[in-house]
Amino acid sequence: MIKAFQHNWARSYEWTIGALETGVERKADVVCLQEPPRARGGCGIGRSAYEIRKRKRLWTAIGKGCGVVVDERTDLSRVAHDNVIITNVAIGGEKITRIENVYDRGDTQPGLSKAHKVIWQSVILQGGTVLVGDSTANSS
């Protein structure tokens, strides 16, 4: 079973480190984070226990040495590159679980959100999808 942890760290360096440390303490295979620190583009932030895939508005950290097989699906998230990370993960011979890390805060004009441009019908796997993210009630 894949263990995942999600947190919005509100652009804070301290919260970023805290979220990654919590992932280590809870033995999370995958840590999905939204709103990375903007100073220095988040450079220098990390945790040796994780390989981190970084985008402008979110990161997905994959545990090193936990036996997780990873396939990042950039073909499915290309239209929303900075706002969506789609990753297929599996441990051993388990069924693939697709983890979708999404940032959709409605910070553009209605209907123009990058996350809304993704063709979600082709992204969601029946019985094997975890959708995490940051969105507001006014996101359309």
CB atoms within 10 A of CB 108: 15
23 falls within a domain: yes
27 falls within a domain: yes
75 falls within a domain: yes
Report mean pLDDT in 10-residue bins for the chain, 140 residues. 81 80 90 75 65 86 88 88 88 87 71 75 80 62
Instruction: Please list the residues that pair with 34 across neighbouring strands.
Output: 8, 58
95 falls within a domain: yes
pLDDT, residue 140, reads: 44
Question: In sequence order, what are the residues at sequence separation of 6 or more whose Cβ sits closer than 8 angstroms to the Cβ of residue 40?
Answer: none
116 falls within a domain: yes
pTM for this predicted structure: 0.80
pLDDT, residue 135, reads: 63
31 falls within a domain: yes
- DSSP state, residue 117: G
24 falls within a domain: yes
Tell me how many domains the chain contains: 1
140 falls within a domain: no
Q: Which residues span the domain enclosing 15?
A: 4-135
Residue 83 is part of a domain; what is its CATH number?
A: 3.60.10.10
pLDDT, residue 46, reads: 62
State how far the Cα of 73 lies from the Cα of 96, in Å rounded to an integer: 13
Longest Cα–Cα distance in the chain: 44
State how far the Cα of 38 lies from the Cα of 79, in Å rounded to an integer: 22
Instruction: Please list the residues that pair with 8 across neighbouring strands.
Output: 34
